[in-house]
């Protein structure tokens, strides 16, 4: 009979699996695998976190912070979940931080073409916009 994995391990397992899949896909596609930027054309609130973690693997904390100032958040969520301290209030605080930092990054860093705050002109919505603008 198999033992059931305790619920507190799920966020950590998900974080590791998603991380491995993301890193693998980034090498395969040689570009952003983010559906948000591929569809909308602008960076998502989490844009740059994967590259920030890659910088951490190279022990470059400043580089990680430049790619995304909240690079520490996924690890914090896993640690809090592991010790069963993660609750809805903390999750909403993290979501608020993520959206707040995204808005600031969009105001101060977007359209300057500074990775990861780049515009994807080949995104689905920008392409549709150009197509319909060409019709009129």
How far apart are alpha carbons 50 and 33 in whole angstroms?
10
61: helix, coil or strand?
helix
pTM higher than 0.75, yes or no? no
- Cα separations (Å) of 131 from 39, 109, 119, 121, 128? 15, 27, 17, 12, 5
Do residues 42 and 117 lie in contact, with contact meaning Cβ atoms separated by under 8 Å? no
Task: Tell me the pLDDT tens digit for each residue of 82-94.
Answer: 888 888 899 999 9
Task: Tell me the pLDDT tens digit for each residue of 71-129.
Answer: 999 889 888 888 888 888 999 999 999 999 999 999 998 877 678 888 888 888 998 99
């Amino acid at each position: 009979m198999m033992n059931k994995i305790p619920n507190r391990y799920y966020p950590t397992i998900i974080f590791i699996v998603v991380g491995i899949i993301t890193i693998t896909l980034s090498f395969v596609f040689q570009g952003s695998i983010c559906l948000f930027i591929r569809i909308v054309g602008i960076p998502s609130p989490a844009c740059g976190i994967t590259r920030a973690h890659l910088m951490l693997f190279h022990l470059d904390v400043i580089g990680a912070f430049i790619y995304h100032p909240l690079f520490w958040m996924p690890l914090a969520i896993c640690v809090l979940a592991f010790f069963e301290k993660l609750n809805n209030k903390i999750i909403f605080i993290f979501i608020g931080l993520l959206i707040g930092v995204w808005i600031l990054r969009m105001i101060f860093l977007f359209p300057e073409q500074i990775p990861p705050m780049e515009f994807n002109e080949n995104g689905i919505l920008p392409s549709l916009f150009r197509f319909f603008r060409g019709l009129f």
